[in-house]
Amino acid sequence: MIVGLIIACEVAFWVLLAAGLAFRYAFRMPRTGLALLLCEPLLEIVLFAVTAVDLRNGAEPDWRHGLAAVYIGFTVGLGHSTIRWADARVAHRFAGGPPPVKPPRYGIARAVHEWRVAGRWILASVVSLALLQGAVWYVGDAGDTGSLRAWQLRMLWVIGINVVIAASYTLFPKREPRSGGEPAGTTVEKSVDSGADAGTSSR
């Protein structure tokens, strides 16, 4: 039942997202669209309640309860950015909004971007860890919590992988390729000079 509810929550997430954006931009009813988008957290509350009741009724904790905790954690950590990502693209496509901002590709800006992405994944993992630990305490010594501990270990791996990826962009920043075989310093100087000329001409 829990796995089916997780699938239903995932389907409902995208249905509510599509409906909210449709009302906001296609039907010009922003308040209705916002109300639908604000219903998203209710899905996680329902899943959390059902999982807690299942454990309270004596169900043996297994991978399905761990999966429910992880799903809730990742929805908390990544759900808002997913909605924002979709909103920017729908607004640009159907409401004349500005084009979505592309992430930086080089240098410190790219490293900062990677840390922000890692931060969302780390938040999702930390929330999952907290929910899993809460389930372990809830079950206590009366049940086997090995499957919940296994999910916690996976979340630690997710945190570690994201830290390594973000740190690699910090320690080894990706450099912008040189154009025309000119040294990087020359290109920067030309850009600065062009900016100064543009500023002078605008005045």
Cα distance between residue 83 and residue 87, in whole Å? 6
Q: Which residues contact 77 (CB under 8 A, 6 or more apart)?
A: 120, 121, 122, 123, 124, 125, 126, 127
d(CA 114, CA 86): 20
Q: Reply yes or no on whether the pLDDT at 188 is more than 50.
A: no
Residue 12, C-beta contacts closer than 8 angstroms, at least 6 positions apart: 43
Would you place residue 152 in the very low, low, confident or very high pLDDT band (cuts 50, 70, 90)?
A: very high
The two tokens of residue 27 are 């039907």
Band the pLDDT of 178: cuts 50, 70, 90.
confident
pLDDT in tens, 39-50: 999 999 999 999
Cβ atoms of residues 65 and 108 within 8 Å: no
Q: In terms of C-beta density within 10 A (0-12 exposed, 13-18 middle, 19 or more buried), how is residue 112 classed?
A: middle
Quick one: pLDDT at residue 114? 97
pLDDT of residue 180: 54
